[in-house]
Structure 1
Amino acid sequence: MSNEIAATNTQQAAFTTQRVTFQSAGETIVGTLYVPTGVDAQNAAKAVVVTGAWTTIKEQMPALYAERLAQNGMVALAFDFRTWGESEGSTRSLENPEMKITDIEAAGRYLASRAEVREVHGLGICASSGYMATAAERTDIFRSIALVAPWLHNQPIVEAVYGGQDGVNGLLETARNAKATERSTGEPQLITAGGPEGSDALMALDGYYSDPSRGMIPEWENTFNLASWTGWLNFDGVRAASGINEPTLIVHSEAAAIPDGAKEFYESLTAPKSQVWLDGVTQFDFYDQANGVDPAIEAVTAHFERS
């Protein structure tokens, strides 16, 4: 039997979905709101902003986690960041940490405005963990946050991952050239985001991003804007830890991406904190496989309920 978790049929599940829109920095964000059956203005519930890995959209791993949280009685919001999916943006497929942090804050405020919402929590998966952590550091929107399979890098980790200072400088030069070309032509400089091993994709890895039954879904543009390297490589997701006041949970595995960043982040946390480390669970397992998603949802749900 496959270990993959199939998407829930909303007509059979104990929740309904709504297409919603809200504003972030003057642009329209499109999201899907998951509301448990029986939750309304007279019976408000906890709510969670759910964000996914870099380059991804709301229909990928955020949808699965939002569905599972809704099944556990929590309102959940998955949305497309600006320049991704259905949301607006002046360019396309731009992995811009500052923009995404702003969008998370806007999503949290939107959830807090809903009559069926009692309080707001945040769940960041993979790269968006750093964005979620920074939004929590900067605002008091979230009652607590949880980070699943967090990709949390700082400058030493960036250099280790991307070929040292020379490798980083080369990618920053690529970004500068891409920005200049887009300014002169009006066309964003896009490459393929995900593909099979041996391809020329940014993430040339067999599995989630190259499998049509998993992350390679029709809604995904599967592109990466080369101008993204500037913001991505200069972003420090570890730094926010010391300024976070909200109770924080980390769910990770030594077999997943850059566990050292998560450990450094956790050590720097002064807020109430807890962690769950799973054995042999890969980064992609956390996106849609039972061995990653099931224990992550169990831990995250318990964390939000205690908070």
Structure 2
Amino acid sequence: MHTEEIKFPSEGLNCAGTVYRPDGEGPFPAVLLSHGFGAVRGMRNIPEVATALASSGILALAIDFRFLGDSEGEPRQQVLPDAQRQDLRNALTYLESRDDVDAARIGLWGTSFSGGQSIQVAAFDRRVKVLVAQVPATDLYRQIRFSAPPEQRKIIDDAIASEYGRRFRGEPPATMKLADTADAQSVFGPESYEWATHNGAEHPQFHNAVTISSLQEAVQTAPGDYIEAVAPTPLLIIMADPDKTVAIDYTKDAFDRAGGPKKLIAIKGLHYDAYDKPETLKEATEAARTWFVEHLAPSQP
């Protein structure tokens, strides 16, 4: 296996990516991997999943969404669902264009926020032949509006309301930390603080912040509403239990409504254990690798 740093165009901007290419000539089946809310492609567990796939003969492409990481786009630190879904579609087109990729055997893997967005992409883009959604945010609309603690909902609602005037006056967008201590306001709260802190230290491209206007977009997303349309694409959902970051009741409901073939794996642990806890990371990585190997196997003559 070897890696290659690439750029691909997405709506007039260049997105950064890392290709994990198996040994041999190809063409190989391929999987597109995307990161969570405000994250970057080098953060665990994306390299681990990509390496496992390449070691199994599957080319993997991990990307940074526009406005984040090494990708272009201003203002920085925007998480825009429509833009991210378009980035995924453009990355799929890039994979199709490569001589070492079998365009008839392309899969999609997303985690957390992009796990949900990947469900919506796969529901309408039949180029996706296999889907893995890890700890996916399937319904932030209902989670924030009806399930989040009132104090956290108020933080987000007040921040969104405060941004309208700034945008009207043409001022630069305000930002909020993704995670902070319990005595400070942040998007995800203290539950995510350790994750944000050590990733900020390890990955200079990652910044513990997101634009307030991104929150306005994110709280309206409910990609699980489209999950029935994913079938007959094989679907694997890897869920953390208990997950204190995304509400797993919505994940279970979405899975129940999905058509087959489908599989739900509940790994014991919290949301970030799938990234940072070695045994949980290994379990989630192996589950994804096995699903892609099974469903992206070479066509029989």
**TM-score normalised by length of structure 1:** 0.85
Partner of 2:77: 93
Give identity over the alignment, percent. Answer: 20
CA-to-partner distance for each residue in 1:155-203, whole Å, 9 max, x for gaps? 4323234346x97577355335425424534422122223445444433
The SS at the match of 1:134 is helix
With 98-107 and 286-295 compared, the bigger mean Cα shift is at 286-295
Partner of 2:240: 253
Which amino acid in 2 is paired with 1:202? Answer: V
> Equivalent of 2:257, from 254, 268, 273?
268
Equivalent positions of 1:116-265 (< 5 A) are 116-118=100-102, 119-153=105-139, 155-163=141-149, 171-172=156-157, 174-182=159-167, 184-203=169-188, 204-205=190-191, 206-211=193-198, 217-245=203-231, 246-256=233-243, 257-265=246-254
With 66-75 and 191-200 compared, the bigger mean Cα shift is at 191-200
Q: Distance in 2 between matches of 1:197 and 1:210?
A: 14
Give the C-alpha shift of residue 228 in structure 1: 1.1
1:24/1:102 contact within 8 Å kept = yes
2:267/2:284 contact within 8 Å kept = no
Which amino acid in 2 is paired with 1:20? Answer: I
2:69/2:206 contact within 8 Å kept = yes
> Equivalent of 1:79, from 63, 66, 87?
63
Q: Distance in 1 between matches of 2:37 and 2:285?
A: 20
Q: Distance in 2 between matches of 1:136 and 1:286?
A: 22
- The answer to whether 1:45 aligns with 2:28 is yes
The SS at the match of 1:286 is helix
Q: Distance in 1 between matches of 2:201 and 2:119?
A: 25
Give the C-alpha shift of residue 29 in structure 1: 0.8
Unaligned residue ranges in structure 1 (runs of 5+): 1-14
**TM-score normalised by length of structure 2:** 0.87
Which amino acid in 2 is paired with 1:174? Answer: A
1:182/1:188 contact within 8 Å kept = yes
Partner of 1:23: 9
Partner of 1:10: none
Which amino acid in 2 is paired with 1:113? Answer: S
1:32/1:79 contact within 8 Å kept = yes
Partner of 1:11: none
Give the C-alpha shift of residue 235 in structure 1: 0.7
> Equivalent of 1:59, from 37, 42, 67?
42
1:208/1:215 contact within 8 Å kept = no
CA-to-partner distance for each residue in 1:16-36, whole Å, 9 max, x for gaps? 111111111222111111112
CA-to-partner distance for each residue in 1:48-85, whole Å, 9 max, x for gaps? 11112111011113233222322332211111111111
Which amino acid in 2 is paired with 1:193? Answer: L
Give the C-alpha shift of residue 254 in structure 1: 1.8
Q: Distance in 1 between matches of 2:86 and 2:185?
A: 31
Unaligned residue ranges in structure 2 (runs of 5+): 296-301
Which amino acid in 2 is paired with 1:263? Answer: K
Instruction: Tell me: CA distance 1:161–1:52, structure 2 relative to 1, closer, same or farther (3 Å).
Output: farther
Instruction: Tell me: CA distance 1:72–1:195, structure 2 relative to 1, closer, same or farther (3 Å).
Output: farther
Q: Distance in 2 between matches of 1:304 and 1:189?
A: 40
Partner of 2:276: 288
1:159/1:167 contact within 8 Å kept = no
Instruction: Tell me: CA distance 1:194–1:65, structure 2 relative to 1, closer, same or farther (3 Å).
Output: farther
The SS at the match of 2:253 is helix
The SS at the match of 2:129 is coil
Q: Distance in 2 between matches of 1:296 and 1:277?
A: 9
1:190/1:225 contact within 8 Å kept = yes
Q: Distance in 1 between matches of 2:181 and 2:204?
A: 16
The SS at the match of 1:70 is helix
2:240/2:274 contact within 8 Å kept = no
